[in-house]
């Protein structure tokens, strides 16, 4: 590792806020929209929508101390836990490696332009570079870059499955062979009606040895075979023709998917689409490919999720004021336990060292919250 940098910890107190209706703040940012693949989960595109649902205001059950860790390298977009470290993508083309126990920056690694997500697989750390259309492979032993792999426009989420590294791009689910660092499979996504390209498809992806799951912009989730990318099932999560594809995470047989409807009458790229009232999270049973549960997200569109010992944490956004919240619900997921503010424009959450880590784009920092103890499942 190249060097260590001290983070100036800034303890803060999380307190409740007031409920508000928040229309769009970033209504026209064409360069960002192209870079992000017009994906609501990605940074700038998130702000281009009006949320038309009633939200539960941030009201934690008790006052809770939170540590804010400033990060070098600019605005953080995504985070992952791998090889004992927190890895954070930042908008200056870097990945910041943080020791979760000491909360010190261990290294900064140069990757591609506008990196979005980071995941572990095959003894390496993999980073999707949104503007470059590439994936960077990092050796965690010395933080050296092993390979830079072209995959297609606007790659985002990644996961290891079927002897390969899968990544969702703007157009397709792509499989990388880790033995050659080349693309060996490509499964294209369906397009929303009237769209010139499948520009809003495939932002969310999760995978295990049984399946690769991808959210699309047509209100569906695709189940692919991890070995060859063949389509196994198409599960409709929303009835609307135009949806904003959300995060996908796995927890045993549960497949958690966040998605919300967009007013299709406006058409892709026309004016400011409005989100419909179907805002929340659904659970798909991986053994039956059927939706078995719908979970409230307090009226917030969800950009990141973390299932943790019978709890589900969701990162929701208020895009007019660029504010984000961390929502918690416990099994059987009928009641929301808390809604806590976590900085401006936050999109991800990971767990490490008995804490929850949330990168804040606007604050150039990580919010570190103590994780709840125990569990119900």
Share of the chain above pLDDT 90, in %: 56
Whether residue 376 is contained in a domain is answered as no
In this predicted structure, the answer to whether residue 165 has a pLDDT above a threshold of 80 is yes
The answer to whether residue 2 is domain-embedded is no
Dig out the tokens for 198 from the structure. Answer: 């499948």
More confident call, 361 vs 374: 361
What total of structural domains would you count in the chain? 1
Question: 5 in a domain, yes or no?
Answer: no
- Domain-located, residue 154: yes
In a domain, 1, yes or no: no
Q: Quick one: pLDDT at residue 233?
A: 96
How many Å apart are CA 138 and CA 136, to the nearest integer?
6
Return all residues near 124 (Cβ < 8 A) that are at least 6 apart. Answer: 137, 138, 139, 140, 146, 178
pLDDT value at 271 more than 80? no
Has this prediction a pTM greater than 0.85?
Answer: no
Task: Quote the domain boundaries for residue 297.
Answer: 10-370
pLDDT tens per residue, range 110-163: 999 999 999 999 999 999 999 999 999 999 999 999 999 999 999 999 999 999
Tell me whether residue 262 is in a domain: yes
Q: How far is CA 149 from CA 142, 179, 199, 202, in A?
A: 20, 12, 21, 19
| 357 lies in some domain | yes
pLDDT given for residue 261 in this prediction: 62
pLDDT in tens, 16-31: 332 222 222 222 233 3
Let me know: does 106 contact 123? Beta carbons within 8 Å.
no
Output the domain CATH number for residue 175: 2.130.10.10
Please write the tens of the pLDDT for every residue from 275-297.
Answer: 444 567 999 999 999 999 989 88
Beta bridge partners of 222: 214, 234
pLDDT of 100 strictly over 90 = yes
Give the pLDDT band of residue 241 (cuts 50, 70, 90).
Answer: low
- Whether 2 and 108 have beta carbons less than 8 Å apart is answered as yes
Is 346 a member of any domain?
yes
Q: What band does 194 get if pLDDT is binned at 50, 70 and 90?
A: low
Under the banding of pLDDT at 50, 70 and 90, the label for residue 170 is confident
């Amino acid at each position: 590792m190249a060097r260590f940098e001290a983070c100036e910890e800034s303890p803060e107190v999380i307190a409740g806020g007031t409920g508000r209706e928040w229309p769009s703040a970033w209504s026209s940012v064409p360069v960002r929209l192209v870079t992000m693949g017009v994906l609501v989960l990605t940074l700038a595109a998130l702000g281009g929508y009006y949320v038309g649902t009633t939200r539960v205001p941030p009201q934690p059950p008790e006052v809770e101390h939170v540590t804010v860790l400033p990060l070098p390298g600019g605005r953080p977009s995504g985070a992952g836990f791998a090889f004992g470290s927190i890895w954070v993508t930042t908008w200056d083309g870097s990945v910041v490696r943080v020791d979760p126990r000491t909360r010190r920056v261990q290294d900064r690694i140069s990757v591609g332009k506008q990196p979005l997500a980071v995941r572990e697989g095959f003894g390496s750390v993999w980073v999707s570079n949104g503007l470059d259309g590439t994936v960077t492979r990092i050796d965690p032993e010395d933080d050296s870059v092993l390979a830079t792999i072209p995959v297609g426009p606007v790659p985002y989420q990644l996961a290891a499955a079927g002897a390969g590294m899968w990544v969702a791009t703007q157009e397709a689910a792509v499989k990388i062979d880790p033995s050659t660092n080349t693309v060996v499979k490509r499964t294209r996504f369906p397009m929303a009606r009237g769209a010139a390209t499948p520009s809003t498809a495939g932002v969310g992806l999760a995978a295990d040895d049984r399946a690769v799951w991808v959210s699309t912009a047509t209100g569906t989730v695709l189940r692919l075979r991890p070995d060859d990318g063949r389509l196994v099932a198409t599960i409709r999560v929303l009835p609307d023709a135009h949806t904003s594809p959300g995060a996908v995470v796995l927890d045993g047989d549960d497949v958690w998917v966040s998605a919300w409807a967009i007013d299709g009458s406006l058409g892709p790229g026309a004016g400011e689409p409005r989100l419909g009232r179907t805002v929340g999270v659904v659970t798909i049973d991986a053994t039956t490919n059927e939706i078995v549960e719908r979970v409230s997200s307090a009226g917030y569109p969800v950009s990141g999720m973390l299932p943790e010992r019978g709890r589900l944490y969701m990162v929701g956004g208020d895009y007019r004021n660029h504010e984000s919240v961390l929502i918690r619900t416990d099994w059987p997921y009928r009641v929301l336990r808390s809604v806590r503010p976590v900085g401006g424009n936050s999109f991800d959450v990971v767990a490490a060292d008995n804490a929850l880590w949330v990168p804040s784009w606007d604050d150039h920092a990580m919010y570190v919250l103590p994780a709840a103890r125990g569990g119900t499942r």
